[in-house]
Amino acid sequence: MSNPSETFRRAQASELARRLRAPRRLIQVVAGARQVGKTTLVRQVTAAAEVPVRFASADEPTLRGPEWIATQWEAARIEAGRSGGILVIDEVQKAAGWSESVKRLWDEDTRARRRIKVVLLGSAPLLVQQGLTESLAGRFEILRLPHWSFVEMRDAFRFSLDRYVHFGSYPGAARLVAEPERWRSYVMDSLVETTIARDVLLLTRVDKPALLRRLFELGCRYSGQALSFTKILGQLQDAGNTTTLAHYLHLLSGAGLLTGLPKFAGEVVRQRGSSPKFQALNNALVTAPSGLSFREARKDPERWGRLVESAVGAHLANVAASGECELFYWREGDREVDFVVRVGHAITGIEVKSGDGGRLSGLAAFKKAHSRARTLVVGAGGVAVADFLVQPVSRWAKG
């Protein structure tokens, strides 16, 4: 029986295939969090290539070095010959000094007019970006691979909306949802722990790893809620300071786990100085640590409402990470709007409602403060959640 996560073809595969068919110009960088299907996608694309393909992975317990990259590159040159070929390096950020080595070897091939195309994969987008900007300016283009959308989980695994809300969108975990404890262990051990231990702590200086882990736990617990770092400090032991917490949240965001949405104020200075609204980038990161079963969550209207809001937020945050929009939240006094989306000059305030109760005073106050903005209710009394998730964000932001 085929594995849907291996046979399902994401939309980004077509774009990568198009780029690799073109003449050699730029290094292709496929960046995204762990377990979003980067390796599978690249293998799907290169399987149809009519030239030799060399696939190498730096994802080992011990760090690789420049010599390893040079060895893989030279082997690709030999295999390619005069007809050309493709070199794929997976988890490239794990190789020490990778960007300098790639720059030197790429430039050598350019001068020698070798027809070797290069694809680099990285599961820590923040770390990959650092290496690219340090050494490879003008030599690469990025293909960002976000967490799977509701549409993809529906089409590949026949996920209902409720399953997507509770179990999130890791393709590797999708076939384990019938065994909740096994699913939870997979998410916590194979995804969360591996990402933190190997993509953050191993490659980045973190003076207080226990604090980073605790911040991740609290951020996922309060996904969809705005909490000041000062309040967070009150729940942490040996917390350090707010600057440290902001840095750790930046690292977690770069690893594709948890981000902080800035407050929308129409002024960059105020946005940067505001308390962030925590947003998990995949709802599995919210439900797996809680230990709450699907049935228990579904029977609790308040908790389910928070999960629905987090799922909508995760969807928007992943779209924003791909560069299609900007994402914020809004609050003035006790009035709040769940999300504010900006696409170009178009601004839309979005309130997520999973039940019949509740007022929309936040949207009214937002509209009063930003008269040119549009407002949208997602859920009860507005656009159905499923309908919102299956349409491009620009469809709702621009009307």
State pLDDT tens for residues 277-316: 999 999 999 999 998 899 999 999 999 999 999 999 999 9
What pLDDT, on the 0 to 100 scale, is given for residue 123? Answer: 78
pLDDT in tens, 74-120: 999 999 998 899 999 998 888 888 899 999 999 999 999 999 999 99
Collapse the DSSP code of 118 into the 3-class scheme (helix H, G, I; strand E, B; otherwise coil) and give the result.
strand
What pLDDT, on the 0 to 100 scale, is given for residue 97? Answer: 86
**Residues comprising the chain, all counted:** 399
Asked whether the predicted pLDDT for residue 5 surpasses 80, the reply is no
Where do the structural domains in the chain lie, given as residue ranges? 4-144, 150-398
Phi, psi (degrees; rounded to nearest 5) at 206: -130, 110
Q: How confident is the model at residue 25 (pLDDT cuts 50, 70, 90)?
A: very high
Amino acid type, 258: L
Asked whether the predicted pLDDT for residue 247 surpasses 60, the reply is yes
Average pLDDT over residues 389-394: 94
What pLDDT, on the 0 to 100 scale, is given for residue 275? Answer: 77
What pLDDT, on the 0 to 100 scale, is given for residue 24? Answer: 95
Residue owning tokens 């005073």: 361
Q: Name which residue leads in pLDDT, 316 or 357.
A: 316
The whole-chain average pLDDT of the chain stands at 89
Average pLDDT over residues 318-338: 92
Q: Name which residue leads in pLDDT, 164 or 267.
A: 164
What pLDDT, on the 0 to 100 scale, is given for residue 257? Answer: 95
User: How much helix, strand and coil, in percent to the nearest 5, is found in the chain?
Assistant: 50, 20, 30
Q: Is the pTM of this model over 0.75?
A: yes
Asked whether the predicted pLDDT for residue 229 surpasses 90, the reply is no
Amino acid type, 176: L
Q: How confident is the model at residue 201 (pLDDT cuts 50, 70, 90)?
A: confident
Residue percentage of the chain with pLDDT more than 90: 66
Contact yes or no for 58/88 (Cβ under 8 A): no
Asked whether the predicted pLDDT for residue 231 surpasses 70, the reply is no
The residues with which 118 forms a beta bridge, in sequence order, are: 87
What pLDDT, on the 0 to 100 scale, is given for residue 377? Answer: 96
Asked whether the predicted pLDDT for residue 170 surpasses 70, the reply is yes
Phi, psi (degrees; rounded to nearest 5) at 277: -105, 115
Contacts 24+ apart (CB under 8 A), 319-322: 319/146, 319/393, 321/144, 321/146, 321/259, 321/281, 322/144, 322/146
Asked whether the predicted pLDDT for residue 16 surpasses 50, the reply is yes
Specify the pairing of strand 326-332 against strand 277-280.
unpaired
Cα separation, 393 vs 399, in Å, equals 10
Residue percentage of the chain with pLDDT more than 70: 90
Asked whether the predicted pLDDT for residue 204 surpasses 50, the reply is yes
What pLDDT, on the 0 to 100 scale, is given for residue 269? Answer: 44
Q: Name which residue leads in pLDDT, 235 or 283.
A: 283
Q: What's domain 4-144's superfamily in CATH?
A: P-loop containing nucleotide triphosphate hydrolases (3.40.50.300)
